[in-house]
């Protein structure tokens, strides 16, 4: 009878060990797949961030080049300033493309008539035309009591 009890314990303990080992292997496989998916998402985000940063600095360099040309022209010959960029009072306004849906908008006061040079606006602006979805009428203020 002792041999039958021992053989049952051995079979049960072998089966239990196999089940635990299978569970551990499946858990490790699940964590490995989740780590891979997370790493790929981080890589995509890093690439988008690098592209966005590169586009911003390219636009900023182009805006600086335009501003330097305007300042040089304003100091040497203020009458030769481009009328489409500079207003009569010496305020220069221009935009540089910054990706598909954005612009770098620049405004600067040029040193005409002994004024100081001053940048009044250096801002990334969206060109995306957003229209809200008004198809659902969730709130009707006319139904509220006055008062």
Residue 99 lies in a domain: yes
Q: 23 lies in which domain range? A: 2-126
- CB neighbour burial string for 37-72, b if at least 16 within 10 angstroms, e if fewer: eeeeeeeeeeeeeeeeeebeeebbeebeebbeebee
**64 belongs to a structural domain:** yes
Please state which of the ranges 6-10, 37-41, 54-58, 118-122 shows the lowest mean pLDDT: 6-10
Q: What is the pLDDT of residue 65?
A: 95
Residue 11 banded pLDDT, cuts 50, 70, 90: low
Is 118 a member of any domain? yes
Give the Cα separation of 89 and 112 in Å (integer). 8
Q: 13 lies in a domain?
A: yes
pTM to 2 decimal places: 0.67
Q: How confident is the model at residue 5 (pLDDT cuts 50, 70, 90)?
A: low
Instruction: Please give the tally of structural domains in the chain.
Output: 1
In a domain, 66, yes or no: yes
Q: Is there a domain that residue 115 lies in?
A: yes
Residue 140 within any structural domain of the chain? no
């Amino acid at each position: 009878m002792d041999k039958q009890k021992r053989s049952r314990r051995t079979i049960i303990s072998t089966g239990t060990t196999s089940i635990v080992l299978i569970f551990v292997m499946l858990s490790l496989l699940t964590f490995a797949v989740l780590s891979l998916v997370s790493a790929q998402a981080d890589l995509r985000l890093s690439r988008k961030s690098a592209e966005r940063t590169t586009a911003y600095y390219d636009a900023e360099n182009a805006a600086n080049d335009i501003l330097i040309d305007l300042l040089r022209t304003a100091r040497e010959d203020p009458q030769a300033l481009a009328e489409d960029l500079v207003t009569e009072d010496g305020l220069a306004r221009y935009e540089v493309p910054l990706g598909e849906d954005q612009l770098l908008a620049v405004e600067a006061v040029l040193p005409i008539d002994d004024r100081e040079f001053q940048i009044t606006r250096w801002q990334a602006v969206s060109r995306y035309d957003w229209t809200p979805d008004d198809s659902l009428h969730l709130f009707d203020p006319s139904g509220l009591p006055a008062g």
